[in-house]
């Protein structure tokens, strides 16, 4: 009987430890959500229109693609935030389809987890925003990012 009780306690302990680990992993998105929300509000206060707001996962490989329809001649503000303490270096490539193949029209690399840039497309088209993590913090192979694309 004592043996069964110890085994039962062990399984209860494992269950509690596992649920706490899942909870802390789910809560780790909160800093990115808060940062994304504050940046979103800043853009809205400047009377900018949000064309895309996205939070998703990015792996070491393959990269993450976010297609967005853009209007030619309009300057877009692009903000890419990598998850704090998970992503150390991030890169953003903007690609378009020319004659059936993807061609890079912009490539911005940063030695930090944040990229702020502008992009002015030369044609009305879907552009693919390719999110690449060049360096994760130790032990990580997956992280979250926040992409915000806005215009005046």
What are the tens digits of pLDDT across the range 34-70?
999 999 999 999 999 999 999 999 998 888 999 999 9
In 15-124, the DSSP E strands lie at 49-59, 64-70, 76-82, 87-98, 101-110, 114-119
**Mean pLDDT, residues 98-106 taken together:** 89
Q: What is the CATH number of domain 30-151?
A: 2.60.120.510
Least confident of 59-63, 113-117, 147-151: 59-63
Report d(CA 68, CA 145) in Å as an integer.
Answer: 16
94: β partners? 106, 129
Q: How confident is residue 101, by pLDDT bands cut at 50, 70 and 90?
A: confident
C-alpha 82, offset from chain centre? 6
Pairing between β-strand 87-98 and β-strand 49-59 as defined by DSSP bridges = unpaired
Q: How confident is residue 3, by pLDDT bands cut at 50, 70 and 90?
A: low
**Which sequence spans correspond to the domains of the chain?**
30-151
Report d(CA 97, CA 95) in Å as an integer.
Answer: 7
Is pTM, for the whole model, over 0.85? no
Report d(CA 8, CA 114) in Å as an integer.
Answer: 47
Has residue 31 got a pLDDT over 80?
yes
The pLDDT mean for the chain works out to 84
**Mean pLDDT, residues 108-113 taken together:** 93
């Amino acid at each position: 009987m004592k043996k069964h009780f110890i085994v039962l306690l062990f399984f209860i302990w494992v269950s509690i430890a596992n649920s706490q680990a899942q909870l802390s992993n789910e809560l780790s998105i909160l800093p990115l959500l808060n940062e994304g929300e504050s940046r979103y509000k800043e853009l809205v206060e400047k009377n900018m229109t949000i064309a895309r707001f996205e939070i998703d996962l990015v792996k070491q490989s393959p990269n993450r693609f976010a297609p967005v329809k853009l209007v030619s001649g309009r300057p877009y503000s692009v903000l890419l935030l990598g998850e704090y303490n998970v992503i150390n270096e991030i890169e953003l490539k903007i690609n378009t389809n020319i004659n059936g193949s993807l061609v890079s029209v912009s490539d911005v690399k940063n030695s930090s987890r944040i990229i702020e840039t502008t992009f002015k497309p030369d044609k009305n088209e879907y552009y693919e925003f390719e999110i690449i993590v060049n360096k994760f913090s130790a032990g990580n192979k997956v992280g979250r990012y926040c992409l915000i694309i806005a215009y005046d």
